[in-house]
Structure 1
Amino acid sequence: MLDSAVATTLRLGSRGSPLALAQSRMVAEALAAAGFGTSLATVETAGDRDRARPLVALGGKAVWTKELDQALLDGKIDAAVHSLKDVETKLPDGLVLAAVLPRADPRDRLVGAGTLAALAPGARVGTSSPRRAAQLAFRRPDVEAVLLRGNVATRLARVEDGTVAATFLAAAGLDRLGIAAGTPLDPADWLPAASQGIVGIAARADADAVLAALAGIDDPETHCAARAERAVLAGIGGSCRTAIAVHASATGTGMLRLRAELYSPDGAERVDAVQTGDANDPTALGAAVAEALLAAATPAIRASLG
């Protein structure tokens, strides 16, 4: 365990995918600039071991984080690096979201077609995301969303070999891997997932020296947006099956604009909400947007919330 008197080296934990390792290097570089050394341990997760079945069959978002959470609780690592959109809204007891890096491009990119309109009728579009599948069905009910899992390279290869006509990938992930592919989708029409583009770092709640070190690399504006977006998820009480899109953005000094969309699983029905509130209380803003979504939700949407 890191000694509070000599908190100079932090043991980072990460999945072993190319994107996860790239994000861990970003955290290590930020910590190095703040005067801290790091070491890295890679941890294989359930999602890494089973790349075929849908995430809902594996237990949802926890498939990307459970083993890293346990490594933290067991004291094997000091901090765990995550794509924050993959982190469950409620962390296990004893863990906290200690810091986030500045947000990268939050948009989705469409790979394989220049626009959604350019997809041919009946085209097969690969995704494992209930959000993306529902958004696609709402806008293009004449195309077919098919299950496609795997890392970035695998999904790009399935487009290249014609297994699917197109797929969606996070712009931030592509940028971090140095891959120029796809067309960005405007958030005004295609909202991203909550916390998309944000690297989050979890730590033990009682590890004071680690928390102090991570506080030095935390980006307050991004953390504020993340709290608002994650509060929407918490407020609707959804699951890994819930098709929800959320994005927060600063609109001026001390103000935050928060927009969210909630879909039925088949994409046939959609409700949305947008509010602007005090950036000093992002959780309250997120809760208010969640309440507005639930008030407008149709029976089919409510049924998807479990």
Structure 2
Amino acid sequence: MDSNKTIRIGTRDSELALWQAHTVQKKLNDLGYKTEIIAVKSQGDIILDKPLYELGITGIFTKTLDIAMINGQVDIAVHSMKDVPTALPIGIIQAAVLERANTLDILVHKGNLDFLEGNGTIATGSLRRQAQWFHKYPNHKVVDLRGNVNTRMQKLNDSDWNGAVFAAAGLERINLKPTDFIDLDWMIPAPAQGAMVIVAMQNDDFCKEAVAKLNHKETEICTQIERQFLKTLEGGCTAPIGALAKINNNEIHFVGNLFSIDGKEKLEIERTVSLDNWTDFGKNCADEILKKGGEELMKSIKESLKK
């Protein structure tokens, strides 16, 4: 090991992003690596030689860190895997996936759940959560909610909404999970929800080798299946897509779905495959959904998102 090299860990500056970066830092330090954390604020004014689209950079949460890596300001970056676009920018690779935490979505509420029986207003910025909520509660209202988890929790407290949907893992990681919540075990999570991914530069053997030691194989396989399902369905557009793969003994159980934005239409698939046969599993499940009406549904989603 090159004992003089310090691995610079890039992260966004939200509390959750910093928690994730510190977790990776501790794991690398325990292995004997020197590290430093560099928190990068989103700056839209970074000048590059090439336009962003030529580098294939699309993700709203990952863009700033991608640029910092390509410009050589940081060596690796840590992300919530569900925020990372399925196609990584040219020159950047997935170097490790950490062992997955809780995959569930939860409803944080105000202590009274009567609204579930009647009319209610819940908040989420996710098309997937919105569509699944409408599917189950068609007469509810869903309002948009954005920002990091701290901001969203504050907005919920300051509002007259009945509740808001969060990923359990994010709230658990920074001890923000309140007592008034219910597990939404009927809601299929986002592909790779609850998993953290570390990306590195393709030509950086030192960092790739260091980070590979943190990879959790089972999580890597499950998230790859879910992201393959997502990539095959979406083709670069945002849509209400849920996916969850789980390994039991020598089998992988997968459930995936695609909804219309209003939640009225639902296409779902549930399949099991042996562990040594998973390579195209996510793609095959998505192809089946596309054949069963998914292609038309994706077209109408893309149309409605243009408006």
TM-score band by shorter chain is 0.7 to 0.9
CA separation in 2, counterparts of 1:11 and 1:166? Answer: 39
The 8 Å contact of residues 45 and 63 in structure 1, kept in 2 or not, is answered as no
Matched, 1:227 2:224: yes
CA separation in 2, counterparts of 1:61 and 1:105? Answer: 27
Q: Once the 2 structures are TM-superposed, how far is the Cα of residue 281 of structure 1 from its aligned partner? A: 5.0
CA separation in 1, counterparts of 2:28 and 2:143? Answer: 40
Deviating more after overlay: 130-139 vs 71-80 = 71-80
- Distance 1:61-1:74 versus aligned 2 partners, 3 A rule: closer
> Secondary structure, in 3 states, of the residue corresponding to 2:280?
helix
CA separation in 2, counterparts of 1:62 and 1:175? Answer: 24
Q: Once the 2 structures are TM-superposed, how far is the Cα of residue 301 of structure 1 from its aligned partner? A: 4.2
Query: Superposition pairs for residues 233-272 of structure 1, below 5 Å?
Result: 233-253=230-250, 255-272=251-268
CA separation in 1, counterparts of 2:79 and 2:243? Answer: 18
Query: Superposition pairs for residues 138-217 of structure 1, below 5 Å?
Result: 138-181=135-178, 182-186=181-185, 189-217=186-214
Identity of aligned residues (%): 34
- Distance 1:279-1:72 versus aligned 2 partners, 3 A rule: farther
CA separation in 2, counterparts of 1:261 and 1:114? Answer: 30
Q: Which amino acid aligns with 2:183?
A: P
Residue of structure 2 in register with 1:289 after alignment: 285
Specify which of 269, 272, 276 is matched with residue 276 of structure 1.
272
Q: Which amino acid aligns with 1:269?
A: E
Q: Aligned residues, how many? A: 288
Q: Once the 2 structures are TM-superposed, how far is the Cα of residue 208 of structure 1 from its aligned partner? A: 0.7
CA separation in 2, counterparts of 1:178 and 1:145? Answer: 26
CA separation in 1, counterparts of 2:208 and 2:59? Answer: 23
Q: Which amino acid aligns with 2:172?
A: D
- Distance 1:239-1:267 versus aligned 2 partners, 3 A rule: farther
- Distance 1:283-1:108 versus aligned 2 partners, 3 A rule: same
Deviating more after overlay: 140-149 vs 4-13 = 4-13
Deviation readout 1:179-202 (Å, 9 max, x if unpaired): 23222211xx21110000001001
The 8 Å contact of residues 113 and 119 in structure 1, kept in 2 or not, is answered as no
TM-score by length of 1: 0.87
The 8 Å contact of residues 168 and 177 in structure 2, kept in 1 or not, is answered as no
Specify which of 34, 39, 42 is matched with residue 37 of structure 1.
34
CA separation in 1, counterparts of 2:15 and 2:257? Answer: 31
CA separation in 1, counterparts of 2:141 and 2:58? Answer: 24
Q: Hey, which bits of structure 1, 4+ residues long, moved more than 6 A?
A: 114-117
Matched, 1:111 2:108: yes
Q: Once the 2 structures are TM-superposed, how far is the Cα of residue 63 of structure 1 from its aligned partner? A: 1.1
> Secondary structure, in 3 states, of the residue corresponding to 1:63?
coil
- Distance 1:282-1:12 versus aligned 2 partners, 3 A rule: farther
The 8 Å contact of residues 232 and 289 in structure 1, kept in 2 or not, is answered as yes
Q: Once the 2 structures are TM-superposed, how far is the Cα of residue 226 of structure 1 from its aligned partner? A: 1.0
> Structure 1 unaligned runs (5+)?
48-59
The 8 Å contact of residues 79 and 202 in structure 1, kept in 2 or not, is answered as yes
Specify which of 2, 12, 17 is matched with residue 15 of structure 1.
12
CA separation in 2, counterparts of 1:8 and 1:280? Answer: 38
CA separation in 2, counterparts of 1:273 and 1:304? Answer: 19
- Distance 1:7-1:130 versus aligned 2 partners, 3 A rule: farther
The 8 Å contact of residues 3 and 33 in structure 2, kept in 1 or not, is answered as no
Q: Once the 2 structures are TM-superposed, how far is the Cα of residue 5 of structure 1 from its aligned partner? A: 3.8
CA separation in 1, counterparts of 2:261 and 2:236? Answer: 12
Deviation readout 1:175-232 (Å, 9 max, x if unpaired): 101123222211xx21110000001001111111110000111111111111111100
Q: Which amino acid aligns with 1:279?
A: L
The 8 Å contact of residues 8 and 76 in structure 2, kept in 1 or not, is answered as yes
The 8 Å contact of residues 257 and 275 in structure 1, kept in 2 or not, is answered as yes
Specify which of 75, 79, 89 is matched with residue 76 of structure 2.
79
Q: Once the 2 structures are TM-superposed, how far is the Cα of residue 79 of structure 1 from its aligned partner? A: 0.4
- Distance 1:139-1:300 versus aligned 2 partners, 3 A rule: same
Q: Which amino acid aligns with 1:285?
A: F
> Structure 2 unaligned runs (5+)?
45-56
Matched, 1:96 2:93: yes
CA separation in 2, counterparts of 1:97 and 1:66? Answer: 15
